Structures are given as structure tokens and as C-alpha cells.
Amino acid sequence: MATIKDVARVAGVSVASVSRVLNNGPKVSKATIEKVTRVMQELNYSPNANARALVTQKSTTLGVVIPNLVDPFFASLAQGVEQVARQKNMQLLLSTGLVSAETEMQAINLLIERRCEVMVIHSKKLSDQALIALANQVPGLVLIDRYIEAIAQRCIWLDNLEGGRIAARHFLALAHKNVACISSKYQIDDPRLRLQGFQSELLSAGVDIEPELIAYGEPTLQGGEIAVQKLLASGKSFSALFVYNDAMAIGAISALEDNGFKVPSEISVLGFDDVLLSRYSRPKLSTLNYPVEEMAIHAASIGIDLASKQPKNTANINCKYIPSLVKRESTSFNLT
């Protein structure tokens, strides 16, 4: 593969000149630009990004660390980051397959080795401490979907507590008194906060959830189906069901209908996340929109700013997002 030296030799100029036309630098005559450009095409020259990165000390690379890509939630996240990468002429380095704190750390370390200047990290396994240390080491590191007090201005997160409250208010507005809830069996912050917000808001309106009407399951379609079985097995009746995420909610609707319950006329079901699925289900799922792509774009932008020499936004940037209710077809007024 042709190098800058080859181009310089053939064009009869110094490598400095070639470098200058490559970077639209000053101090090159029009004639030289043309000549060099022509030779570059002739030799099919492609500048070596690794050499460039080495000497300029910047890799023009944007890293994303997510658990996987098949979950449309994370795909949207990655897509958002990619979008700003492309716009800023940077390239995306993607790591997935994170199952433990160790693999997460490993993925991040690989990005550091590549001298990736900005990184958007979705980590649920690494400790606050570890992430704070990392953040101090990598100026362009931003956390998404996680809040850590000590590095608050580097966190882009969704207010899950408020999400739960919004869900509760929706059900209250629809006159539901007997409500049930399906949460994730993985008791990380998200499900806990959603449930907490939901419960507390209901309670302050005088509505209590019976303990038998809270079920936990895998955050998947099947998990939702199974969780509904549990709820029904309790023998308690309910007219509204708040589910941890859309996949579970769709599974829940399936199971409810299989058991002869009509959604939403007999039971209203509300999901969370507003992923693609929710628009494809029947009835179309009412849910809470998690603006993940927008948040990812925001995170990447902050990361780029932070990684630059003089970051502008030191504080007072809004890092907290509030989910919004998307009323579709799976929730309706309680007529019982």
C-alpha cells in the first residue's frame, strides 16, 4: 500500500507538502495541490489513520459499550451515538457481550488502548467507584442510563421514579383501583425505582397494591407470560397492570388473552420503554417513552465536548430525562 513517501517521491515534492494538501493546510500552491492530488489517485493512496493517531495524539474514535445489539433498546442507543460520530467525522468502536464487571472493564480497557477519546458507556455491573475512577482517567467518558452523584454532569439518565409516578397517575386518571404490577427479577435500580414511584404515587391517592399482585420475572416476553400466570394464580382480581418493559408487557397481554381477559376492556396494560415492538403489537401497546436515541445523541455530544481542549458546558446541563406517556390501545377507562 502506497505511503505518503511514495506520493511525495512520484509528485516530486516533500512529504510535508503532501501532508499539507492532505490536511488542507496552509503554504501550498494551487499547482502543488493539483499535482499531489493527482498522484494520490494514481497510486490509490489512503492515509494511515493509525500513524495519524499516533502523531496527533487523537484517534477520532468514539466508543460505545452496551450489553448487546439485538435488544432494540441498545440498538437505538448505538444508532444515536453512531449518528453523531458520523456527523463529527469520527468512527464508532463498538463493544458488546458484557456479562460481568470484568468483561465490562475489559471492553473499556480496549477502548482506552485505542486511545478512544470519547466513550458512551452503558454499565450496570461496574461499581460506582470503578466508574468514577475511569471517568477521572478518560475526560470524554459519559455514562448513559445510570446516575452517580460524584460525576453527575457525566451521567445521562432517565428518571425512573417519575416514570413510575406517571404510570400511576395514568391509571388513576382512568379510574383504576385494583392495580397489579410486574417487575424484573433482576433488582437493579431501574425496576426498583419504577415500582417505587408507581407504588408511592398510588398510595398518596389512597390506592394500595396487594402484595400478591406484584410479580417478578425475566424481562422478556416469556417472563411476562409467566408473571401473569402468577398474578392470576393469586386469585386476586385487577383491572390495570403496569409492566416493567414492553417485551414483558406484550407477553403479559398474550397470557391474559389466553386466559380469556380482554385488553384493554377488562384489563389495561401499560408497558415501559416504547421500543419498536410496542407499535407492532395488537392491541398497540400504551407505554412510557424512553427517548434513548435522543439521550444517546446527547451523551455523545457531551462526551465530544468534554474531550475537547476547552469544554464549554461545565455544569447546568440537563442530564435527567423524563419519560412521557404514549397512549395507544392497551389502556382504557375502568368501567367495572
Partner DNA sequence: CAAATATAGGTAAACGTTTACCCTTGTTTC
Partner DNA sequence: GAAACAAGGGTAAACGTTTACCTATATTTG
Task: Kindly list the residues in this chain that would bind a copy of itself in the complex (CB under 8 A).
Answer: 44, 46-51, 53-54, 59, 68-70, 72, 75-76, 78-79, 82-83, 86, 91-97, 109-110, 112-115, 137, 221, 247, 250, 253-254, 257, 276-277, 279-282
**Stretch of residues binding DNA (CB under 7 A), selected from 28-36, 135-143, 168-176, 201-209:** 28-36
44 binds DNA (CB under 7 A): no
Task: For residue 298, report the phi and psi dihedrals to the nearest 5 degrees.
Answer: -60, -45
Compute, in degrees rounded to 10, the torsion defined by CA atoms 301, 307, 311, 316.
Answer: 50
Measured from the CB atom, the residue of 42 and 210 that comes closer to DNA is 42
- C-alpha 103/C-alpha 97 separation (Å) is 8
4 binds DNA (CB under 7 A): yes
Q: Do the beta carbons of residue 144 and residue 122 sit within 8 Å?
A: yes
Half-sphere exposure of 116 (CA within 13 A, CB side): 27
1 binds DNA (CB under 7 A): yes
Nearest to 145 by CA among 154, 134, 136: 154
Binding partner selected for residue 17 from a copy of itself, DNA, none, CB under the kind-specific 5 to 8 Å limit = DNA
105 binds DNA (CB under 7 A): no
151 binds DNA (CB under 7 A): no
C-beta atoms surrounding 43 within 10 Å: 16
For the segment 52-81, give every residue that binds DNA (CB under 7 A). Answer: 52, 54-57
| DSSP state, residue 285 | P
**Stretch of residues binding DNA (CB under 7 A), selected from 44-52, 77-85, 137-145, 150-158:** 44-52
330 binds DNA (CB under 7 A): no
23 binds DNA (CB under 7 A): yes
- List 120's β-bridge partners, or say none: 64, 142
Question: How are beta strands 155-158 and 140-144 bridged, if at all?
Answer: parallel
Exactly one of 9, 10, 31, 160 binds DNA (CB under 7 A); which one? Answer: 31
CB 118 to DNA: min, Å:
19
Question: How are beta strands 287-289 and 324-326 bridged, if at all?
Answer: antiparallel
Nearest to 278 by CA among 252, 258, 296, 307: 252
29 binds DNA (CB under 7 A): yes
Binding site for DNA (CB under 7 A): 1, 3-5, 12-20, 22-23, 25-29, 31-32, 45-48, 51-52, 54-57
